[in-house]
Amino acid sequence: MKQFLKAFIAVTVLGSMAYAKSTLINPDFARQLANPTTYKFNKKAQESICGANQLQHVSEYDGSRGQPVEFVAKYEQAVAALAYGTVPNTSKYCSGIMISEDLFLTASHCIDSGILNEFAVFNYQKTRGSTDLAASEHFKITEVVEKGLNDLDYAIIRIDGKPGLKYGFTKINIAEVAIGNVLTIIQHPSGKPKMVDVGTKLTNDDDYFRYGDLDTEPGSSGSGVIDQDGFVVGVHTNGGCFNSGGSNAGVLMTKIVAASPTIQALTK
């Protein structure tokens, strides 16, 4: 509850209540809306662990979180981290998912004026049964196609080299999923090698939806929220969990579809 209250206060202080359709608005996104030309992304995000940390590396996922091993193996390849450079130890700061051969869906608050100097990193993950990392691959970000339309915390960026041809892309569900739907977030929490957790949809909150027992950390912002049938149904943007539980949240894909000409064209 404290995280939600902080977000509400941040929006008020910035004088951007006109943007605040929900108290779930990410404080960084509130800053971006209030000062779009000078906005700089703050890596100290609010994403959070719901009770015990149940994140698993995708290469070690054991099926215990509610989706089979094969499900995670199928959808993890299209997920990448955003990175400031191409050397292996370069900081990774947000997550996202390919939705076409060259289009990458993430959170708007992850995007600032330096984005065209940065990269999407695929296959940044542990190898199974080892502490070693797999060989990752960097692709240059070439264009911000859409960002923050209708005051929604999502962005679509274009990636050079069409990585979706190699790593695949995930289709979008234009319909709203029901309460209780099993949700999966494949992510780079705290910029770490790719991990996954699974939970359930709890409720809607204006442009957002909440999900319970589904862990995230800073760096998870922008992750595609995948429904039980393997479709993207939202973009993860907000934390709201504590040691005692709680829920995290993201922007509903139904709201993004209504605002996005790009996604309308993809789902036509």
CA distance 28 to 81: 18
For residues 99 and 152, state if they share a domain: yes
Range in 74-83, 151-160, 215-224 the model is least confident about: 215-224
Q: Which token pair is 222?
A: 């922008």
pLDDT of residue 163: 98
User: Residue 7: is its pLDDT beyond 50?
Assistant: no
pLDDT of residue 239: 87
Q: Give the pLDDT mean for 220-234.
A: 97
pLDDT of residue 52: 87
Q: Give the pLDDT mean for 40-61.
A: 84
Tokens 């499900």 sit at which residue? 71
How many domains in the chain? 2
In a domain, 17, yes or no: yes
Q: Last residue of some domain: 144, 167, 190?
A: 167
In a domain, 95, yes or no: yes
pLDDT of residue 218: 86
Sorting pLDDT into bands at 50, 70 and 90, what band is 48?
Answer: confident
CA distance 264 to 268: 6
Q: Last residue of some domain: 130, 147, 167?
A: 167
- Check residues 48 and 92 and name the one with the higher pLDDT: 92
Distances in Å between the Cα of 243 and the Cα atoms of 51, 155, 214, 215, 247 are 4, 31, 13, 11, 11
In a domain, 158, yes or no: yes
Sorting pLDDT into bands at 50, 70 and 90, what band is 257?
Answer: very high
In a domain, 210, yes or no: no
In a domain, 123, yes or no: yes
In a domain, 174, yes or no: no
- Residue ranges making up the domain that contains 18: 2-34
pLDDT of residue 4: 42
Q: For 64-104, how does the pLDDT look when each residue is reduced to its tens digit (9 = 90+)?
A: 999 999 999 999 999 999 999 888 788 999 999 999 999 99
Task: Compute the CA torsion angle 208, 209, 215, 218 (nearest 10 deg).
Answer: 0
For residues 90 and 149, state if they share a domain: yes
Distances in Å between the Cα of 25 and the Cα atoms of 19, 122, 148, 150 are 9, 28, 12, 13
- Count of other CB atoms within 10 angstroms of residue 5: 10
Percent of the chain with pLDDT over 90: 78
In a domain, 125, yes or no: yes
CATH of the domain at 160: 2.40.10.10
pLDDT of residue 47: 54
Q: Last residue of some domain: 121, 141, 167?
A: 167
In a domain, 143, yes or no: yes
Q: Give the pLDDT mean for 172-179.
A: 95
